[in-house]
Amino acid sequence: MYTYESSRSLFERALHSIPGGVNSPVRAFKSVGGTPVFFEKAKGAYLYDVAGQRYIDYIASWGPMILGHGYEPVTRAIQQQVEKATSFGAPTEIEVEMAELIKSMVPNVDLIRMVNSGTEACMSALRVARGYTGRNKFIKFEGCYHGHADPFLVKAGSGVATFNIQTVPGITAGAANDTLTCAYNDLAAVEKLVAGHKGEIAAIIVEPVAGNMGCILPEPGFLEGLRRICDEEQMLLIFDEVMNGFRLALGGAQERLGIDADLVTYGKVIGAGMPVGAFGGKRHIMEVVAPLGGVYQAGTLSGNPVAMTAGLTLLKALKEKPELLTELDEKTLYLKDGLDAVLKAWGQPYVINHLGSMISIHFSAQPVVNFAAAAAADNARFNRLFHALLKRGIYLPPSAFESWFLNNALTKEDLDQTIQAVKESLEEL
């Protein structure tokens, strides 16, 4: 049985200095209850808390640890770069190599700008879309989370959904009024919105495979319909691939799903888990970005050499050995089939959503295709499952509104242990 006294002590201490005791809200365990676990180290598929207890990790730092924690080539490259410099605030060859590598892997990226987070990437992509089209409004989908920039926190997923925050104080009416929202997978609602705002909408931004209301897949024709609408109405289609990028395929969701976006955003994966982001797209669109054009975006730490070195090493490994992603997909399918068998024998309603190495369980009798369906599931039961698995050494995202992310360091034994732990936990529930 796992104990959490060391984590409780640290959390109580943190409450005196950090809002809510955490530096990102979902970490507070408000959704699932209890005290957050404080971690000290990680290696491969495992996390180790401050008491030295080991957990099988199904977060992978919310996606980027595709090859596991402490992947030796990345660690070694970081160490070598740190000895040279940690920051210049000036151009480096590593930035150029990273941009060239991403261009070689991703469809429709002619120019790419490095930034410092997924939030900054999405915020900047929206600014580019507005600057390019001369329009202010945009469409996002309920339950999709694109970071905490003002316009994106209208009916957002992830932490906002977890805390049931419907209106975020500090966001002006003007910012909210320019944000138009639809249910994910509801193409008819998008068409209706566009018809009611002719010539006013700059872009549609979407997680092509949503990861912030659980793993939610696009229904057949949904993304194709968004592409068609954008073409017809001279709007831009933005893919938020902060979670999907280089995980679903070398070219991300664009490659895996066969849909072309105009702009694409990335996050921590291109820094192998370090604070980093990027936005890129077609040349004629990206040329509006300063210093080529008038859409201003800047950052002292953008293209940080340590982050670029880490990300470059990880992405090169994936490109040189694309079978690594195939192996990861196969491991996720093995887990899904095992969970499916256990849940079926359990006899209560459930849904498993899955694509590539993203997966989530929803205790629902109905298909989970959007945020409303995810919210209507028995999420209290998920919370109990979370804690039952935690005490068995399985670390899931601490919210029913988050996808699980597998990493390729997971072994068949890890997956079997997880499946058995779920079986035992369901019997306990």
Question: How far is Cα of residue 32 from the mean position of the Cα atoms in its chain?
Answer: 20
Considering the domain architecture, whether residues 335 and 283 belong to the same structural domain is answered as no
**Catalytic choice (145, 184, 350, 395):** 145
**Catalytic choice (49, 57, 240, 262):** 240
Q: Give me the CATH number covering residue 26.
A: 3.90.1150.10
- Sheet with 111-115, strands from edge to edge, namely 111-115, 277-281, 263-266, 236-240, 201-206, 137-142, 179-183
Considering the domain architecture, whether residues 198 and 238 belong to the same structural domain is answered as yes
Whether 391 is catalytic? no
Considering the domain architecture, whether residues 330 and 194 belong to the same structural domain is answered as no
Whether 412 is catalytic? no
Residue that finishes a domain, picked among 258, 293, 320? 320
Q: Which of 26-35, 255-264, 387-396, 411-420 has the lowest mean pLDDT?
A: 26-35
- Which tens digit of pLDDT belongs to each residue from 312-368? 999 999 999 999 999 999 999 999 999 999 999 999 999 999 999 999 999 999 999
- Cα–Cα distance, 116 to 397 (Å, whole number): 23
CA dihedral of residues 406, 410, 414, 418 (deg, nearest 10): 0
Considering the domain architecture, whether residues 303 and 266 belong to the same structural domain is answered as yes
Whether 340 is catalytic? no
- Cα–Cα distance, 70 to 131 (Å, whole number): 40
Inter-residue contact 339 to 326 (CB < 8 Å): no
**Catalytic choice (30, 137, 140, 268):** 268
Residue 176 pLDDT: 77
Q: Give me the CATH number covering residue 169.
A: 3.40.640.10
How many independent structural domains does the chain possess? 2
Residue that finishes a domain, picked among 320, 355, 380? 320
Considering the domain architecture, whether residues 82 and 65 belong to the same structural domain is answered as no
Considering the domain architecture, whether residues 263 and 206 belong to the same structural domain is answered as yes
Give the pTM.
0.94
- Which tens digit of pLDDT belongs to each residue from 10-62? 999 999 999 999 999 889 998 899 999 999 999 999 999 999 999 999 999 99
Residue ranges making up the domain that contains 393: 5-70+322-428
- Closest by CA to 144, choosing from 407, 403, 352, 404, is 403
- Which tens digit of pLDDT belongs to each residue from 110-161? 999 999 999 999 999 999 999 999 999 999 999 999 998 888 887 654 455 5
> Considering Cα of 169, then 144, then 313, then 418, what sign does the dihedral take?
positive
- Cα–Cα distance, 407 to 415 (Å, whole number): 11
Considering the domain architecture, whether residues 243 and 360 belong to the same structural domain is answered as no
- Cα–Cα distance, 227 to 230 (Å, whole number): 5
